[in-house]
Amino acid sequence: MSLRSHYPEEDINDQLRPILRRGFEQLVHLEEFCSVKDELYLAYWDSTSSPEANGTEVNNFMFERWTKLRRLALYNQMLDSDFEAALTRIPNLGKIVLPRPDFEEDETSWSSDMAIAVGDRIQFTVVNTTDRAPEAGIRSLRFTIESLGVQSDAWKYNLFMGNDMDEISAVQDWSLQCALDGSLWSLPDGLDSHL
Global pTM reads 0.83
**Assign residue 76 a region: left if phi > 0, alpha if psi is -120 to 50, beta otherwise?**
left
Digit-coded pLDDT (tens) for 103-125: 887 787 888 888 888 888 899 99
Distances (CA, A) of 60 to 41, 77, 86, 121: 9, 14, 8, 22
Instruction: Give the whole-angstrom CA distance, residue 103 versus residue 44.
Output: 23
Instruction: Give the whole-angstrom CA distance, residue 23 versus residue 2.
Output: 16
Q: What is the mean pLDDT of the chain?
A: 82
Q: Is 168 helix (H, G, I), strand (E, B) or coil?
A: helix
β-strand pairing of 150-151 with 144-145: antiparallel
What is the biggest distance separating any 2 CA atoms in the chain, rounded to whole angstroms?
Answer: 56
Digit-coded pLDDT (tens) for 162-194: 878 899 999 999 999 999 999 999 887 755 434
Digit-coded pLDDT (tens) for 60-116: 687 888 889 999 999 998 888 888 888 998 999 999 999 999 988 778 788 888 888
Host H or E run for residue 170? helix 167-181
Crossing angle of helices 81-88/107-118, nearest 10°? 30
136-154 average pLDDT score? 83
**What pLDDT, on a 0 to 100 scale, did the predictor assign at position 176?**
94
> Is residue 65 within 8 Å of 71, Cβ to Cβ?
no
Between residues 147 and 67, the one the model is more confident about: 67
Instruction: Give backbone dihedrals phi and psi of 178, rounded to 5 degrees, phi first.
Output: -70, -35
β-strand pairing of 78-79 with 102-103: parallel
Between residues 15 and 88, the one the model is more confident about: 88
Grade residue 11 by pLDDT with cuts at 50, 70 and 90: low
Between residues 12 and 63, the one the model is more confident about: 63
In the chain the first and final C-alpha atoms are separated, in Å, by 30
Dump strand ranges (E) for the chain.
32-34, 44-46, 56-58, 71-73, 78-79, 95-99, 102-103, 123-130, 137-140, 144-145, 150-151, 153-160
Between residues 3 and 60, the one the model is more confident about: 60
**What pLDDT, on a 0 to 100 scale, did the predictor assign at position 2?**
57
